[in-house]
Amino acid sequence: MTLWRLSCRGPEAAMHALADRLGAMEDGAPMAVALVAEPDGRWLVEAHFALATPAAEEAARAAIEAALARAGLAAQIAAHEDALAPVPETDWLARSRAALAPQHVPPFVIHGSHDRARFRAARWAIEIDAAQAFGTARHGTTRGCLGAIAMLARRQVRRPPARVLDIGTGTGVLAIAAARAFPAAAIVASDCDPVAVRIARANMRRNRVARRVQVLGAEGLAHPLLARPRAFDLALANIVARPLA
């Protein structure tokens, strides 16, 4: 099965008509049709077809030509702007990860698994892949919290925090950073989202801090380990304003 793409540009009314015609195709119908306004005033129609054989390709071309004719586009669209071409096979996951450059919040560097070899030996490196939970150090609040952890570690206070809470942990990036910054600390990370809890636990294992970081599912402080008075020396809460207030 080969994926093919039709790209066609033209006046708004004609492109709307073409998109309608393509969507109404029966034999060899496209998997998806997109209609987009472009800055120059023209409109773009893109349709993707899954074509398994040369015969299917020929049938699709014939159906597209008929759709163009019915939409009144035969004389309005230049030949080079009306093209059905195969889409090159691409590892989209690899391309997506490659676009995610490492984030530096000294001394921390937060990177994806595709950059593991570059930072394997770095003490302050944290490996986090973009996933369904918040926290890859691309948001200002995450970077601010990482900077605060680094500042506390640099101060070399007489009694560094022995018990750390990361509430609303997301990917677990701040809990992992605390484990890097305070090697003797016991850390609890919590989140109300079961997906985030699962992802955070996986990231603790990936970053070799699972023995020091306990990940809990909890709504706010509604957990026996979180509700005890003076249970923590340091609390991290990179969450939205209303729960903080």
pLDDT of residue 81: 47
- Quick one: pLDDT band at residue 50, thresholds 50, 70, 90? confident
* Percentage of the residues of the chain whose pLDDT score is greater than 70: 89
Percent over 90 (pLDDT), the chain? 37
- Which of 32-41, 78-87, 204-213 has the least mean pLDDT? 78-87
Cα(142)–Cα(148) distance, rounded to whole angstroms?
10
SS3 89: coil
Q: Where are the beta strands (DSSP E) in the chain?
A: 2-10, 32-37, 43-51, 82-86, 103-105, 108-111, 125-127, 163-167, 186-191, 213-217, 234-236
pLDDT at 94: 66
What is the reported pLDDT for 80? 39
Q: What's the pLDDT score for residue 12?
A: 87
pLDDT averaged over every residue in the chain: 84
Can you tell me the mean pLDDT for 215-229? 89
Exposure pattern of 63-77 as b/e (b: 16+ CB <10 Å)? Answer: bbeebbeebebeeeb
pLDDT, one tens digit per residue, over 76-112 is: 444 434 467 777 777 766 666 666 788 999 999 999 8
Please say if the pLDDT value at position 157 is more than 70: no
Report pLDDT for 71: 67
Provide the whole-model pTM. 0.63
Residue 3 pLDDT grade (very low, low, confident, very high; cuts 50, 70, 90): confident
